Chain A
């Protein structure tokens, strides 16, 4: 009988890693790829079992795949017996194969014995009293994988199942694979490249991390927040464990005041400056004050200081998010529901469908709506806003980052967006470790807040397709990265925890003191860790109208340059538009005779508008400036299901030759062509004509081109490639299919699903 107790705790550190070369090798090359799998097999395999059947269709086993199921200390791998001809038609991860699942990505491990009608959800260090005939893995990225062991050795099958369950429940943060991997990666890169990394700041990373005063300083300057300063009272986390070491505070508050106030706030979290509007109003986030006696006094002082930092000494508006938004449990339960309908399939009962999908959509609407109201305060009322939440580490992250996305186009660029996440989530102390439940210790703490934020961003992107530099593929890949335990971004609960772990890590791995954390344990923002340069071009939105993008105005081709801030709303600037909108109506009402006044009580369904309603109505009555203030439309029909994220792994929800990607394809090719032309133009315009040889007509070198889909050679009809589906660049091929294309519901596999979701509706679904 297999026993863990002695084996695993000691063994886990002994596993060797594949050499770095392999980890970073482009996987396009089949030879290398094959080699790599061999290495994986030989070196870090915990357990493996042969002759495993990966089930694809619930109806027949015709499409099933045969191969070897392997559990390593990083992932669950399935290696096909007969490797299919490698076709590069989708995003390929540098560290994970098509059938690989990182252990951190596992949500639930379910073993089933068909013949004895038994099933068990496996946790860490558990025993299994039956030989499993199948294994179902429910993944956090919404995949469901089902393996059958009918031809496999029962003992080794059992061992693999137990190993997978065990390793997906690490006892300690240190046991996450990232610590093993990054230590090795660091030393190998040192060995290979010497000190190359040290010479470029932060290993060439362009995204500010906000762990240094200079990052904050730059942000203060960029937003002209003259009433604010960088403060270092929390250096070495002296005051608060969950705040960053450097915070931005009103200039009128001295360090001593701050220290004095800090004790009254939950977790000693002082108010944290987020952003300044060009009109001077500031966005500030803050924890609550538990002591009711002190509350008023302290808050009053904070308000006064923020008012003093406002050039017009405007009022401060406080928004208590705990009182007006769904809490983290509500968010989690509505997410579970929407995941259920999307991944498990449709239920019989349409009412349920309606309730479920709208529950998630209404959460999204609530957050977007509230953020829009904050925008109104900052932009329309010219007032500073304090976002308050008990801990200031969950809902505040979502709202503050959404508000900034709506107001400041800088954050809609790729680097800007990453800096926003870094500032409002990572450094502000969002508990990624608990909310992602990486250690699977406390399910009650789990809540998909970051996912909620990404979905909100997608909603804005869906409505304003040219406003963001990045694509929905980027957002999806970012959400997937949460479940790959290799990046410092999503592993920790607070900046202090991160700092401590990384210092210990550096000591253990003999990394010289003073080496930059971003170099030896990089954040997710170094995308070359995961994807090839070519694949990273999938992140670029061809329609982006932000900085540097060329655009057409009045028939003239222009390059957009941001001469001044564009995010000041035009609504305020043009009172005439107000007259067009509402005031004109008012005049009509008063000028017209008695007929009107008497008609009004019966015929005027228009109620008196509040100023904020007027603000939004004026805003929406004009064409959206995708480079400026951006408020999403929030009627229920405007909030859509993020199909790429929720449905990409569901084979029966995949539209062959369809989906938005087919339009994206054409845009991408067109923009590529435009960029070639622009580069040719630059070449012509460079040195004086005649003195230089004619430029090659090819445009920029292939590896510098921004677009994923390249312009087709001339005169070629732009036929879309056959591999485009609504799931692109992901592929649901190889994932469990629950019904045939034409809708026969099959749910024999749902045994496990019932455990996973424990939703009573599934009972109705079994046919």
Chain B
């Protein structure tokens, strides 16, 4: 009954003027447009949740198991979605092909028991559908999200039944049981082949994906334009093409900002003194004080306390570029003791006795292995079942929030040094591509309101993370079966979590919403877009990622309404310091625990705002109509005073 209502409501929405909330797209893109489908089910589901209050569409038709997103199957619900030839056909993305289909598979749902249905494996996703229940049940998992495939025992089932667990990177582990028959090959083989294409000499799906978006996301980030926005180059800082062939540093971008008065030869010597040749370069400059955020890797001091005159002078020049302060603060993200032990491994840190006027700060942030372990523990806490009695202590024991606190506190120190101390800062860890990226990008988010916009945030990620060589391929392990690789670590997830914490404390200061953050994280794994593939700009250029794959930002920016925070007001020129005490940090349950139906999010406030915006628009329309009527009735039309709300510039979120 409820379902009918939902479907009927949806049908109404398909009228010419009313677009359903889920899929506001630019007008022309209708045919073959599948803006929803590339997102996979998850975005759909998020959108549904967010929309839940307005039209009650989520209503009774969504069974307790949230993974059952039956609405996907209702034709006409999604604007511009692909129409399937047959009702039971698996929805496909352009370029996606079905690899194998297995009938009579059991999905072992941890929340509502066993579900029997059909399992389809494509080169992009695993799709399980069941029509057994009154409401169709669908579960789909992007293959990119799968970390490893585990065979599990299915007791007392005889020879021909096997169990399979998909251990996922996104905090779930769906399990299936299926019968093996001679007629078709083992499902695990097909699954493994496409889940780990790189291990099977196959291309990542991003290179097969054939979607056309009206907006080209690869154009979002233009380094020169971004530096120009910051007021660069200026008399102290130059935009350098020294690294245009990635010879100076193969993990840095081709365009760098370095001090003007330093010779190329000296820079090359500095490069030799810094780990992985990652020399100090400018990330951000304060528009007023000219204090800068500079990033680099650790100096190769080694056990014998080597010195490098050029490096010392380089930092001196950086300090001198800022007339407001006669100090330079170096934030080393590591624990002091770790920095010391790194000396034995030919690394180290800047000695205050060799670098005059330099102040060293250690931020005590543990390394990538600690973070990986922490998130692994978190998964045990949130999936599949939640132990209510020990929830808080279990969360505490993961130390996840403790690390979030360290990161935010470190970034706030960096930002405060620039803003209040008017002092330039140098940030590094060991290699300068993990914790350094986290700290600089968070500090820039606090300092510069531009990065708090939807576009600006994309620029921030493109710049501080992607172009500066955060090793996404190694940290995420795209398409690679070696799940135990110790290079993997959830550094970027941590960063997004920190951003989320800030959006919680400043609900009106960010242009993007929670769905945006979750979408970014989902496509960190999905391998649908080229954005997060490979380890460095050099690799991406060699693989021609920009011409052969689609950018995540193309998808986002083609439907920005869905990812926009309706409360957003521009806190221009405001520096926002989040509070970092543990009572102000909370677990992001709508990301980490989203698969558990009992963790269903609360009624979102922003939906009420959208309703009210719609209400206002409607009232404005009526008032205007009446005003017109009145003025046409009245003899002297000149007495008509324009309505105070005549032309409201506020773009209404037509997604309502």
B 45-61 to A, binary, CB cutoff 8 A, 1 in contact else 0: 00000001111101111
B416 touches A579 (CB 8 A): no
Query: Which single residue of chain A is at the shortest CB-CB distance from B163?
Result: A603
Determine if A576 is an interface residue (Cβ-Cβ < 8 Å).
yes
The yes or no answer to B402 lying at the interface (CB within 8 A) is yes
Quick one: given A346-B582, A354-B392, are A588 and B116 in contact (CB under 8 Å)?
A: yes
Residues 606 to 638 of chain B near chain A (Cβ within 8 Å)? 606, 608-609, 611-616, 618-620, 622-623, 626-627, 629-630, 633-634
Q: How far is the CB of B283 from chain A (nearest CB, A)?
A: 22
In the complex, the answer to whether A637 meets B593 with C-beta atoms within 8 Å is: yes
In this assembly, does A550 line the interface, its C-beta being within 8 Å of a C-beta of chain B? yes
Task: Tell me which of B9, B110, B506, B622 contacts A657 (CB under 8 A).
Answer: B506
Judge whether B645 is part of the interface by a CB distance below 8 angstroms: yes
- Of B402, B506, B577, B611, which is within 8 A of A741 by CB? B577
B157 in contact with A599 (CB, 8 Å): yes
| A674 contacts B by Cβ under 8 Å | yes
A601 to B, closest residue via Cβ? B155
A88 within 8 A of B: no
Chain A residue at minimal CB-CB distance from B565: A663
Q: Is A554 an interface residue (CB 8 A)?
A: yes
**In the bound complex, do residue B505 and residue A659 qualify as a contact, i.e. CB atoms below 8 Å apart?**
yes
Q: Are A555 and B112 in contact (CB under 8 A)?
A: no
Contact of A635 among B1, B386, B577 (CB under 8 A): B386
Q: Is the CB of B605 within 8 A of A663?
A: yes
B113:A606 contact, CB within 8 angstroms: yes
Contacts of B574 in A (CB 8 A): 657
A655 to B581, CA, bound (A): 12
Contact mask A594-631 → B, CB, 8 Å, 1/0? Answer: 01101110111110000000000110111110100000
**Residue B602 is within 8 A (CB to CB) of chain A in the complex:** yes
Bound complex: CA of A166 vs CA of B617, how far in Å? 61
- Residue A633 interfacial (CB < 8 Å): yes
Taking the complex as formed, is A292 at the interface, i.e. its CB lies under 8 A from any CB of chain B? no
* A129 lies within 8 A of chain B by Cβ: no
Contact A588-B61, Cβ < 8 Å, known A354-B392, A674-B615 = no
A662 touches B583 (CB 8 A): no
Whether the Cβ atoms of A697 and B571 lie closer than 8 Å is no
In the complex, are the beta carbons of A653 and B581 less than 8 A apart?
A: yes
Contact B157 A670 (CB under 8 A): no
Given contacts A635-B388, A663-B508, contact A622 B2 (CB under 8 A): yes
What chain B residues lie within 8 Å of A641 (beta carbons)? 583
- Number of A residues, CB within 8 Å of B: 99
User: Cβ of A743 and Cβ of B645 under 8 Å apart?
Assistant: no
Contacts of B505 in A (CB 8 A): 655, 658-659, 726
Known contacts A599-B157, A623-B59, A624-B603: A637-B633 contact under CB 8 Å: no
Question: Is the CB–CB distance between B645 and A673 below 8 Å?
Answer: yes
Q: Can you list, as one digit per residue, whether each of A703-719 has a CB less than 8 Å from chain B (1) or not (0)?
A: 00000000000110111
Using a CB-CB cutoff of 8 Å, which residues 649-663 of chain A contact chain B?
A: 652-653, 655-660, 662-663
B234 within 8 A of A: no
Q: Which residues of B contact A206 (CB under 8 A)?
A: none
Asked whether any CB of chain B lies closer than 8 Å to the CB of A463, the reply is: yes
Mask, A169-202, CB within 8 Å of B = 1, is 0000000000000000000000000000000000
Q: Contacts A603-B108, A622-B59, A742-B413; is A552 near B599 (CB within 8 Å)?
A: no
Cα A587 to Cα B115 with chains together (Å): 11
A635 to B593, CA, bound (A): 12
B-side contacts of A657, CB under 8 Å: 506, 509, 571, 574, 576
**Binary per-residue interface labels of chain B (124-136) against chain A in the complex, 1 for a CB within 8 Å, 0 otherwise:** 0000000011110
Residue A466 interfacial (CB < 8 Å): yes
Contacts of B161 in A (CB 8 A): 595
Instruction: Tell me if B506 and A655 are in contact (CB < 8 A).
Output: yes
Interface contact A637-B599, CB-CB below 8 Å: yes
Q: Is the CB of B135 within 8 A of A577?
A: no
User: Does B341 count as interface, using CB distance less than 8 angstroms?
Assistant: no
Contacts of A600 in B (CB 8 A): 114
Given the known interface contacts A588-B114, A658-B505, the answer about A694 and B640 at a Cβ–Cβ threshold of 8 Å is yes
The reply to whether B615 and A680 contact each other, CB–CB distance below 8 Å, is: no
Choose from A577, A638, A689 the contact partner of B60 (Cβ within 8 Å): A577
Report yes or no: B626 in contact with A588, Cβ–Cβ below 8 A: no
Bitwise, A671-690 to B at CB < 8 A (1) or not (0) is: 10110011011001100011
Question: Is A351 at the interface (CB under 8 A from chain B)?
Answer: yes
Give the complex CA separation of A557 and B615 in angstroms: 6
Interface residues of B in 368-393 (CB under 8 A from A): 384-386, 388, 391-393
Do A580 and B507 touch (CB < 8 A)?
no
Nearest-neighbor residue (CB-CB) of B135 within chain A: A580
> Which residues in B have their C-beta under 8 angstroms from that of A576?
1-2, 60
Interface status of B87 (Cβ within 8 A of chain A): no
Give the contacting residue for B154; candidates A599, A655, A656, A680; CB below 8 A.
Answer: A599
CA distance A743 to B363 in the complex (A): 14
Q: B106 to A599, Cβ gap below 8 A?
A: yes
- Known contacts A592-B116, A596-B114, A697-B643; is-contact A689 B157 (Cβ 8 Å): no
Q: How many residues of B contact A (CB 8 A)?
A: 112
Query: Is the Cβ of B633 less than 8 Å from the Cβ of A554?
Result: no
Say whether A606 contacts B616, CB under 8 Å.
Answer: no
B353 at the interface (CB under 8 A from A): no
Is A763 in the interface zone, CB < 8 Å from B?
Answer: no
Contact: A589 with B114, CB < 8 Å? yes
Chain B CB within 8 A of A23 CB: no
Q: Which of B487-510 contact A (CB under 8 A)?
A: 505-509
Does B83 sit within 8 A of A, measured CB to CB?
no
Chain A residues, Cβ within 8 Å of B599 = 635, 637
Q: A574-B60, A655-B505, A742-B412 are in contact. Are A346 and B54 (CB under 8 A)?
A: no
**B-contact 0/1 string along A340-366, CB 8 Å cutoff:** 011000100011011001100100000
**A239 at interface by CB-CB < 8 Å:** no
* Bound CA–CA A342/B582 (angstroms): 11
A548 touches B (CB below 8 Å): no
Say whether A584 contacts B600, CB under 8 Å: no
Q: What is the minimal beta-carbon distance from A553 to any residue of chain B, in angstroms? A: 8
Instruction: Decide if B626 touches A681 in the complex (CB within 8 Å).
Output: yes
The interface residues of chain B lying within 8 Å CB-to-CB of A595 are 106, 157, 161, 177, 179
Indicate if the CB atoms of A626 and B509 lie closer than 8 Å.
Answer: no
**Interface pair A677/B616, CB less than 8 Å apart:** yes
A684-B623 contact given A346-B582, A584-B133, A621-B63, CB 8 Å threshold: yes
Contact B113 A589 (CB under 8 A): yes
Closest Cβ–Cβ distance, residue B74 to chain A (whole Å)? 14
Shortest C-beta distance, A445 to chain B (Å), equals 30
Give B24 Cβ to nearest chain A Cβ, in Å.
Answer: 15
Which residues of chain B from 279 to 325 have a CB within 8 Å of any chain A CB?
A: none
Binding site for B on A (CB under 8 A): 341-342, 346, 350-351, 353-354, 357-358, 361, 462-466, 542-543, 550-552, 554-555, 557, 574, 576-577, 579-581, 584-585, 587-589, 591-592, 595-596, 598-600, 602-606, 617-618, 620-624, 626, 633, 635-638, 640-641, 647, 652-653, 655-660, 662-663, 665-667, 670-671, 673-674, 677-678, 680-681, 684-685, 689-690, 694, 697, 714-715, 717-720, 726, 741-743
**CB pairs A–B below 8 angstroms (17 shown):** A353-B582, A542-B612, A551-B611, A557-B619, A577-B1, A577-B2, A588-B116, A595-B106, A599-B157, A605-B110, A622-B60, A657-B571, A659-B507, A662-B569, A684-B626, A694-B641, A697-B644
Given pairs A581-B64, A674-B615, 19 additional interface contacts (CB within 8 A) = A358-B392, A464-B602, A466-B53, A542-B612, A577-B1, A588-B132, A588-B133, A592-B132, A618-B64, A623-B58, A638-B602, A653-B584, A658-B507, A670-B613, A678-B619, A681-B619, A681-B623, A685-B626, A743-B581
**In the A-B complex, the 3 residue pairs with the closest CB atoms:** A690-B633, A636-B391, A677-B619
